[in-house]
Amino acid sequence: MKQINLTLLFSFLLTTFSFAQEKPVNPFLGIWELGLSVYNGQNATNPQITQLKEYRADSTFNAYIIVPGDRRSVQTMAGTYSIQGDSVYTETIVKATNTGLIGDSYTIVFYREGDQLRLKGNVEMVNPSGNNTKVFYNERWDRLDFPE
């Protein structure tokens, strides 16, 4: 009888402990609008263009630009992301209007503060002269809320 009680107690504690474990919160989920961008130390924010980034629960993301005057939107990038720790994640590009980015993975430092997501990193790209150039970026993304 004592053995059965100990087994039941152990099972109860194990079940309680497993349900008490919370899944880590994914800080990226949702749709974000680029609020501020600094590239190589220069303000690159363009108020004429809206840039959106959507992070999904299946670890994929999509990036879009919207040009209000032209009343059109373009998907600029799509890929996968993986959270590496409290302040680092990687993006792997699988589709991009800048085809030189396809297949590359980038390590990005992030922190989230309320409804803002800060991203810092660098990317090597071909400039208009045809030369490779490294671009260092610091971006602030603002979370968009939609009525349910």
Q: For the chain, how far is it from start to end, CA to CA, in angstroms?
A: 54
pLDDT tens-digit map of 110-137: 999 999 999 999 988 777 788 888 899 9
Cα–Cα distance, 100 to 77 (Å, whole number):
12
pLDDT tens-digit map of 54-109: 999 999 999 999 987 777 889 999 999 999 988 999 999 999 998 888 999 999 99
Q: Are 40 and 22 in contact (CB under 8 A)?
A: no
Non-local CB neighbours of 51 within 8 Å, separated by 6+ positions: 33, 34, 63, 64, 65, 66, 76
**What sign does the CA torsion over 109, 134, 103, 33 have?**
positive
**Which structural domains are found in the chain, ordered by start?**
28-144 (2.40.128.490)
Cα–Cα distance, 105 to 82 (Å, whole number):
10
Residue 34 has pLDDT above 80, yes or no: yes
